Amino acid sequence: MNKIVVLIGAPGAGKGTQARLLEERKGIPQISTGDMFREMKTLDTPLAREVQEIMRSGKLVPDEVTYRMVKDRTSRDDCRGGYILDGYPRTAVQAEQLEGLATEQGFEILAIEVDVPREELMRRLTGRRSCPVCGEIYNIYSKPPKVEGRCDLHPEAELAHRADDNEESVGTRLATYDEQTKPLIDYYANSGRLSKVSGTGSLEDIYAELEKLVLRRIIN
Ligand code: AMP
């Protein structure tokens, strides 16, 4: 693939779900900074505690911390053929840092905006649940599990509601997105590296559109 696919979209746009599908079906590693930060929950270090606090509030973890984590993770062998970034970059500084990393690693960047109307996002975020064992994402409104509150594959585990999916944090996360991340859409568009998919409709329709873009060799 030889590229870094950057998925840009507001919280709740479905980037994570789609990136996971691409990983499952196409074997392209999905790197989610949000997932990596959530995994730090089990660590009892000052940095891990600080990250948890920032996440709970809906604000962003400092750029340097985030960059170091992305650089480490994408330096592993499985990323040699390219990878998908879900939730990174989220600020102008991060976008700049990613340019350097892409050059170092010899990859081109393809940004894809996953577009979902604002009214829909709130419902999606507050209805979101995930399996603590495999990370599968459900939604009590649009993608309920077969048995209420239980993962289809790990029924022993009760589905979890993310600590930052409450209304207050969701408000902060959407505002942070508007202020800091949304400008990156123009940044990638202006350099001819942006494509767009609609994030509404069926999971499979969105996936089909996304897969086409990701696998396309020549970016128009
Ligand atoms: P997500 O799962 O992508 O919605 O991320 C959850 C939370 O992790 C965000 O609200 C931030 O606190 C933190 N986070 C994830 N990605 C980044 C990033 N690229 N830069 C800074 N903070 C991030």
User: Which domain CATH number covers 10?
Assistant: 3.40.50.300
User: Is residue 119 over pLDDT 90?
Assistant: no
Q: What is the mean pLDDT of the chain?
A: 93
**Token pair of 72 as six digits:** 């480490």
Range of the domain at 51: 3-117+194-219
Judge whether 44 lies within some domain.
yes
Instruction: Say what the pTM is.
Output: 0.88
Over residues 16-37, the mean pLDDT reads 95
Around 45, how many Cα atoms within 13 Å sit in the side-chain half-sphere? Answer: 7
Give me ligand 1 centre to Cα 60, in Å.
6
- What is residue 166's predicted lDDT score, i.e. its pLDDT? 82
162: annotated active-site residue? yes
Q: Is the pLDDT of residue 41 over 90?
A: no
Contact of 152 with 146, CB cutoff 8 Å: yes
Query: What is the separation of C-alpha 48 from the centre of its chain, rounded to a whole number of angstroms?
Result: 20
Where does the pLDDT of residue 220 fall: very low under 50, low under 70, confident under 90, or very high at 90 and above?
Answer: very low
Classify residue 201: in a domain, yes or no.
Answer: yes
Q: Is residue 106 part of a domain?
A: yes
User: Which residues line ligand 1 at a C-beta cut-off of 6 Å?
Assistant: 11, 33-34, 37, 54-55, 58-61, 66, 87-88, 90, 94, 164, 173
**15-26 helix and 203-215 helix, angle to the nearest 10 degrees:** 60
| Structural domain contains residue 174 | no
Instruction: Provide the terminal-to-terminal Cα distance of the chain, rounded to the nearest Å.
Output: 16
Closest Cα to atom 11 of ligand 1: 60
So what's the pLDDT on residue 1?
67
Whether 173 is catalytic is yes
Q: Note if 15 is an active site residue.
A: yes
Answer yes or no: is 158 within a domain.
Answer: no
